[in-house]
Amino acid sequence: MAEKLLQVRDLYLYFRTMKGVVQAVDGIDLDMNRDDALAVIGESGCGKTSFIRAILRLLPRNVDTYKGSVVLLDTDIMKLSDERFRTHVRWQQMSMVAQAAMNALNPVLKVGDQVSEPLVVHRRIPKKQALAQAAEVFRMVGVPADFLDRYSFELSGGMRQRAILAMALITQPDLVILDEPTSALDMLTQANIMNVLKGIKRDLQQSFIFITHDVSTTSELADRGVVMYAGHIVEISSAEQFFLNPFHPYSQKLMASVPTLKVRKDLEFIPGRPPTLINPPQGCRFAPRCERRFDLCEQEPPLFALEDGRQVKCWLYK
Amino acid sequence: MRRLKSLFMTLGKYPTSIIALVIIMVLLTVSIVTVITIPYSEARRLWSTSSQAWEDYPKRAEPVWTNWFRGGGSKLPPTIIRSTKDVEPLSVESLGSAGVAKETITEIVFDFPYRVHPSELGLTFDAVFETSAPFARITWITPDGREYQVYDSAIYKRRHSLSSDQPLQRALGTFPLLGLFSSPDETLRELSYETATTPQQGTYTLRVLARTFEAESTLDVKLIVYGRVSGIAGTDHMRRGLIIGLLWGTPIALMFGLLAAVGSTMVTFIIAAIGVWFGGWVDSVIQRITEVNLMLPLLPILVMLGIFYTPNIITILGVVILLNIFSTAIKTYRALFMQVKNSPYIEAARAYGAGGFRIIFRYMIPKVAPILIPAFVTLTPGYVFLEAALAFLGVGDISLPTWGKILNNANTEGALFQGQFYWVLEPAFMLLITGLAFAMLGFALDRIFNPRLRGI
């Protein structure tokens, strides 16, 4: 049995806005083992990014509710003070590749300086040594070491992405969170980055959570798929099961919208739009768009545990 | 270095900035040379009211170069100094039997080709003796040969003013200056400054008969015909050459202006960044302090400070910086930092666990810092003027020669009412070109560093 890495229970993250309270993360439970690669899949605005922000405590100013428990290797990191969280959790245990990673490099710092910053900040390692380690990680992600001495604008998109990835890996954290790591890249670079990630997963047994709305690239890397809809997790299953036979009606629709090479099919879409998270529908949140809804859908379904460790939040699987 | 070079290349595209750079370079060179050649203590000594350095200089004399613009007839006389030391005596005679006392007759001669009277006439005695003071009889001989005895006494003081000598005035029947320079056809009793004609031109002679009564005793007499032009900057009411004030005013003005601009801008910048990053009550406090501070009148506060504490220039500089930290610029920088704060790379820095101050100083400030460079330059003349204004109002170090101090003197001495325009125009010109140079450079830099103005 693999070691338990992350255990999320009843995680809530609400934001205050002019229009009302946005229930971006609305009671999420999730377990993750070491060496797991977890793909969080969902449409835009379903709370994926808010979910990992809640884990990493990267919160904007307008937080309304932020509660629950996030146990990372026996420590409930929700109970840590901000300062302790900053110095002991961020980049020591968890690192993140931010969304729009292309712009995540400081334009006025050299890439090497920046990639080695976490070591300087957290480990108090002298600059020179930190740079040597950065060169090491650069090699791992496939960036020539002499790029350390360049500024971010001198790097191509793929290079930048890899530099950011190097930065996330440099402290060898327990968990790396990738927020849409390939969203702004061309197909070839995407494939390249995915291969780098696969290599890292294979060689370092690195645990990943990565967020995506690109189902196809996910299939390459993920061990398990987590589908989010309107601030809830609606399905958790192993990658194979998920891609071959999704259970939740939303997952099924999601998969049906992805083109496949071998089978000729009409692409489907889901009518309507994801509900606003300010005033989410009562009961099952997917019900208004669901073709298979019935009376029970008036009430909110729990996350049913099925065989093979699959979990589905739908009355159909009662 | 490469970037500095490219900056200068870009600056080269704006002709005004080249002029500005030349002026600033000149001012900087003047400052450096001044500070090296006339050290601070020397400048203070020269400018102090008790200084003897200026006794051979005329009062309120115009700069020498003003004569270039005057026709031959109206050229103003410069100061003429002649000393018995520099000429061989006509005769040396021993007096009495002891052979100790001597009588020396010396003639000193000077040309006076000007059609305007000198401003003053003075004698300086350089007497060496132990107990018995030397005696002098001095005769003034006009070009046409008239002789006037202008001094006939033992030497009891070092300086003797002929032009304000009352007994001499009574003896001549008119002001000594008019009488001694009169033409043979003039009646001395009718001469006054209202009716005075031009002085007689030609070669004047001063015959000095000196008697010394001790073996080692000597007497040298120096004649000073105080002119109406002096030096390249003219003199003030205390005979001081304005050049000292103008020269020493340059490093002081530049130092004050640059330090105040850089100091206040940098602190403002950092405070704005801190306010934006930490937000909440920190930001609110900074903003409220700024709003209150904007209401405070700077000049009256500084004048009050000057009256109560007579501060030196460094203290004034400190207070000026302090009062300018929470200025309108804080609002401008705040808006800039607000944008930067939400950039993805700041978020990334937060994610890897960088602390607040690390983010402020390594991520936020370097990003916006280039806009500070034009700010330094454009703000500098304001502080130069402020320093001049304070000196003009009499706040600050009295013994330090500055442009504002010269203007202050010119004002209290009524320079403009007496037609001494140079006294006001010279410091004003220095202030003007300093302000102009920095303003022109600032505009050019602003175009280079401020992306919104680029290409306009």
Q: Where are the domains of chain A?
A: 4-312
pLDDT at A118 over 80: yes
Please compute the mean of the pLDDT values over residues B201-215 and round it to a whole number: 91
Q: Token pair of B38, please?
A: 């006339």
Instruction: Report percent pLDDT > 90 for chain B.
Output: 43
* pLDDT tens-digit map of B45-89: 888 877 788 889 999 999 999 999 988 778 899 999 999 999 999
Q: How close is the nearest chain A Cα to the Cα of B341, in Å?
A: 12
Confidence of residue A196 (pLDDT cuts 50, 70, 90): confident
When CB atoms are compared, the residue of B279, B345, B366 closest to A105 is B345
**Max avg pLDDT among A191-205, A293-307, B105-119:** B105-119
The yes-or-no verdict on residue B140 having pLDDT over 90 is yes
Quickly count: other Cβ atoms within 10 Å of residue B54's Cβ. Answer: 18
DSSP state of B63: P
Q: What confidence category does residue B220 fall into, taking pLDDT thresholds of 50, 70 and 90? A: very high
3-class SS string, A292-314 = CCCHHHHCCCCCEECHHHCEECC
- Asked if residue B64 is part of any domain, the answer here is no
Q: Which of B193, B226, B259 is the last residue of a domain?
A: B226
Does B231 fall in a domain?
no
- Predicted confidence (pLDDT) at residue B197 exceeds the cutoff of 80: no
Are B217 and B265 in a shared domain?
no
Residue B178 and residue B308 share a domain = no
**Domain ranges, residue B144:** 72-226
Residue contact A58–B362, C-beta within 8 A? no
Q: So what's the pLDDT on residue A60?
A: 81
Phi, psi of A57 (to 5 degrees): 50, 45
Q: What is the mean pLDDT of residues B97-103?
A: 81
A interface test, pick of B282, B352, B359 with most A CB neighbours within 10 Å: B352
- State the Cα angle at A120 between A119 and A125, rounded to 5°: 85
Residue B54 lies in a domain: no
Mean pLDDT value of segment A165-181: 86
Q: Is there a domain that residue B352 lies in?
A: yes
Give the relative orientation of helices A157-169 and A187-204 as an angle to the nearest 10 degrees: 20
* ipTM confidence: 0.72
The answer on pLDDT for A202 being more than 50 is yes
Per the domain annotation, does B110 fall within a domain?
yes
Backbone CA torsion sign across A17, A22, A27, A31: negative
Contact A86 B351 (CB under 8 A): no
Confidence at A304, pLDDT banded by 50, 70, 90: confident
Cβ-nearest to A104 among B344, B355, B367: B344
* CB-defined contacts A:B, below 8 A: 64
Whether residues B360 and B274 share a domain: the answer is yes
Q: What is the pLDDT of residue A214?
A: 75
CA B370/CA A42 separation, integer angstroms: 42
Q: Which residue has the higher pLDDT, B211 or A61?
A: B211
- B342 contacts chain A (CB < 8 A): no
Q: Does B449 lie at the interface with A, CB-CB under 8 angstroms?
A: no
How high is the pLDDT of residue B452? Answer: 62
Which residues of A fall within a CB distance of 8 Å from B366? 106, 108-109
Average pLDDT, chain B: 88
Task: Examine the pLDDT at A101 and tell me if it is beyond 70.
Answer: no
Cβ <8 Å between A96 and B367: no
Is B257 part of any domain? yes
Looking at residue A172, its pLDDT comes to 85
**What band does A122 get if pLDDT is binned at 50, 70 and 90?**
confident
Q: Which among B316, B240, B252 has a CA at the least distance from the CA of B34?
A: B252
Looking at the structure, tell me whether residues B84 and B181 fall in a common domain: yes
Among candidate residues B226, B249, B265, the one where a domain is terminated: B226
Answer whether residue B455 shows pLDDT above 60: no
The answer to whether B354 faces chain A, any CB pair under 8 Å, is yes
* B69 in A contact zone (CB under 8 Å): no
The CATH fold assigned to A4-312 is Rossmann fold (3.40.50)
Query: Residue A1 pLDDT more than 60?
Result: no
Domain identity same for B281 and B403? yes
Instruction: Give how many domains chain B has, as a whole number.
Output: 2
The stretch B177-181 carries a mean pLDDT of 89
Whether pLDDT at A146 is above 80: yes
Instruction: Give the pLDDT score at B456.
Output: 44
Which of B186, B202, B226 lies at the terminal end of a domain, its last residue?
Answer: B226
Closest to A61 (Cβ–Cβ): which among B279, B355, B367? B279
Residues of chain A in contact with residue B276, where contact means CB-CB under 8 angstroms, are: none
Residues B197 and B274 in one domain: no
Answer yes or no: do B169 and B93 share one domain: yes
Nearest to A167 among B279, B350, B352 (CB): B352
Q: How far apart are CA B88 and CA A1, in angstroms?
A: 120
The fraction of chain B above a pLDDT of 70, given in percent, is 98
Same domain, yes or no: B244 and B205: no
Quick one: what percent of chain A has pLDDT higher than 90?
A: 0
pLDDT in tens, B312-366: 888 889 999 999 999 888 998 999 898 888 888 888 888 877 888 888 998 888 8
Q: What is the per-residue pLDDT across A245-292, written as a single tens digit (0 to 9) for each?
A: 888 888 888 888 877 777 777 777 887 777 888 888 888 888 888 888
| Residue B3 confidence (pLDDT) above 50 | yes
Tell me the average pLDDT across A131-147: 87
Confidence of residue B30 (pLDDT cuts 50, 70, 90): very high
- pLDDT for position A3: 78
Q: Among A61-65, A291-295, B188-192, which stretch is predicted with the lowest mean pLDDT?
A: B188-192
Q: How confident is the model at residue B454 (pLDDT cuts 50, 70, 90)?
A: low
Lowest mean pLDDT among A294-303, B122-131, B298-307, B330-339: A294-303
C-alpha–C-alpha distance, residues B82 and B121, integer Å: 12
CATH number, domain containing residue B104: 2.60.120.380
Residue at B260 is within a domain: yes
> Are residues B40 and B182 both part of a single domain?
no
pLDDT above 60 for A98: yes
Domain harbouring B300, CATH code: 1.10.3720
| pTM score above 0.80 | no
Residue in A closest to B359 by C-alpha: A106
Give the residue on A whose Cα is nearest the Cα of B342. Answer: A60
Does B455 reside within a domain?
Answer: no
Contact between B348 and A117 using a beta-carbon 8 Å cutoff: no
